[in-house]
Amino acid sequence: MSFEPKNPAIKWVEDRLPLPGMLHHALYEYPTPKNLSYWWTFGSLAGFMLVVQIVTGIVLAMHYTPHVDHAFNSVEHIMRDVNYGWLIRYMHANGASMFFIVVYLHIFRGLYYGSYKAPRELLWWLGLVIFLLMMATAFMGYVLPWGQMSFWGATVITNLFSAIPLVGDSIVTWLWGGFAVDNPTLNRFFSLHYLLPFVIAGVVILHIWSLHTSGSNNPTGVEIKDKQDSIPFHPYYTVKDLFGLAIFLIFFSAFLFYAPNYLGHPDNYIPANPLVTPAHIVPEWYFLPFYAILRAVPDKLGGVLLMFGAILVLFALPWLDKSRIRSARFRPIYKQLFWIFVADCILLTYIGGKPAEGAYLIWGRIATVYYFVHLLILLPLVGLFEKPKPLPASISEDVLSKKKPAKEEAANA
């Protein structure tokens, strides 16, 4: 913990505001488990994407006009007239998808390795809060270009609140600032879309603070026990994260330069028309699993409750999972259930993008039921009945055991 800056200017600041020391601790000496795999790189990638979204978003706001008569045209103005406007807008639009990709991988990593378990419950909660804020921000951002999908997406999602008994309609009118989605709605969505990323940044700081209090989880799920188990964050994980970033940027650039509209909907290049709904409206891909759950229920209030419940139930995960073993590596049954759960989420995503009819509806219901069965029934039961594999005594022992020749390993087994 001792940070002794050599540079007198930094020492002068450190004595008055220990910010250099905090950064040094967080980005340099932070003792990190020495066995982190590339699954641990998605947290820093999510942080990178937040910065990309804020920077490109601030630039777009310089050229965008939040008014129903000008919004669509101002987006086209960005695409055609503003220097590199096409690049910056595509970065922002595809960046939202990239942000969700890395965050979903980050969440599933947490599920597999039990990163939500004590003492990291609050860390998990803060992550879920970030996830909810991201969904709100992404939804409102999608409304801003004021195309057909923007308008009807805004209409459908705000109408979710009309399912609330008694006060539902009043709440929707309050959200809209009128009796339909219109200019007041667009203006407040723009304002909040600009605000929320900075709220996210604040919660990210709490998330990292909490992480650095408990320390990072790792593939064994065994805590750091002595100095042998950890290595300093810099240069080991700065370099590892930078390499991960480089690979990720290739993936991002492939969409950005070769398929910038692949993840969008052509209908959003038609200006918003409050009198005609497009024939087939679907949300952006990252909302599809929740959309599938909404549609699986043949009841308005029930569907809305279940959809929000699908996220809220994740807050209870640290207590639903009864197993004291963190990593799925040592949980033979949970490991299989985890992959079934992943497949179930992918199925929900697929169903969410299909029309709500016939076999899609039936599969949607099966997948929805399984989602909750996994979290509410299987997870507690498996924790009680599963016989875990023996845990390594320490991270170091686990790492070294893999280095042994196969013969010795077999003899030890």
Partner 1 sequence: MTTTTPEEENGVKRRDFLYIAAGGLGAVGTAAAIWPFISQMNPSADVLALSTTEADLSGIEVGSELTVVWQGKPIFVRHRTEQDIASAEDVDLATLPDPQPDSERVIKPEWLVMIGICTHLGCVPLKGQGDYGGWFCPCHGSHYDTSGRIRKGPAPANLVIPPYEFLDDNNIKIG
Q: Does 55 bind partner 1 (CB under 8 A)?
A: yes
CA 152 to each of CA 66, 246, 300: distance values in angstroms, whole numbers, following the listed order: 17, 37, 18
Type of residue numbered 359:
A
For the chain, the straight-line distance linking the first and the last C-alpha, in angstroms and rounded, comes to: 40
Contact range with partner 1 by CB under 8 A, out of 75-83, 289-297, 364-372, 388-396: 75-83
**Is 87 or 333 the residue whose CB approaches partner 1 more closely?**
87
Contact range with partner 1 by CB under 8 A, out of 77-85, 124-132, 286-294, 316-324: 77-85
Question: Count of CB atoms within 10 A of residue 390's CB?
Answer: 6
| Residue 59 C-beta: closest distance to partner 1, Å | 6
**Is 76 or 267 the residue whose CB approaches partner 1 more closely?**
76
| Residue 236 C-beta: closest distance to partner 1, Å | 15
Q: Environment class of residue 116 by beta-carbon count within 10 Å: exposed (0-12), middle (13-18) or buried (19+)?
A: buried
Backbone angles phi, psi at 231, to 5 degrees: -135, 155
Q: Does 256 bind partner 1 (CB under 8 A)?
A: no
β-sheet bridge partners, residue 31: 232
| Residue 57 C-beta: closest distance to partner 1, Å | 12
The answer to whether 365 and 373 are in contact (CB under 8 A) is no
Q: Does 88 bind partner 1 (CB under 8 A)?
A: yes
By rule CB under 8 A, what string of x and - marks binding of each residue 178-207 to partner 1? ------------------------------
| Tokens of residue 234, six digits | 């810099």
Contact range with partner 1 by CB under 8 A, out of 59-67, 120-128, 150-158, 358-366: 59-67
Q: Does 257 bind partner 1 (CB under 8 A)?
A: no
| Residue 407 C-beta: closest distance to partner 1, Å | 21
Contact range with partner 1 by CB under 8 A, out of 5-13, 83-91, 164-172, 304-312: 83-91
| Size of the chain, expressed as the number of residues it contains | 413
Task: Please write down the long-range contacts of 404-407, taking CB distance under 8 Å and 24 or more positions apart.
Answer: none
**Is 81 or 408 the residue whose CB approaches partner 1 more closely?**
81
Q: Does 85 bind partner 1 (CB under 8 A)?
A: yes
Which position among 1, 4, 6, 80 is part of the footprint of partner 1 (CB under 8 A)?
80
Active site residues: 212, 216, 240-241, 284
The answer to whether 114 and 221 are in contact (CB under 8 A) is yes
Which position among 11, 25, 77, 300 is part of the footprint of partner 1 (CB under 8 A)?
77
- Binders of partner 1: how many residues, by CB under 8 A? 13
Backbone angles phi, psi at 87, to 5 degrees: -65, -45
Which position among 17, 62, 254, 259 is part of the footprint of partner 1 (CB under 8 A)?
62
The answer to whether 185 and 175 are in contact (CB under 8 A) is yes
Structure-token match 């406007």, residue found? 85
Q: Does 81 bind partner 1 (CB under 8 A)?
A: yes
Contacts of residue 69, Cβ cutoff 8 Å, sequence gap at least 6 = none
Which position among 59, 126, 296, 382 is part of the footprint of partner 1 (CB under 8 A)?
59
Rounded distance, CA 147 to CA 77, Å? 14
| Residue 63 C-beta: closest distance to partner 1, Å | 8
Q: Does 63 bind partner 1 (CB under 8 A)?
A: yes
Question: Count of CB atoms within 10 A of residue 311's CB?
Answer: 14
Q: Which of 181, 385, 197 is nearest to 273 (CA)?
A: 181
Binding residues for partner 1, rule: CB under 8 A, are 55, 59, 62-63, 77, 80-85, 87-88
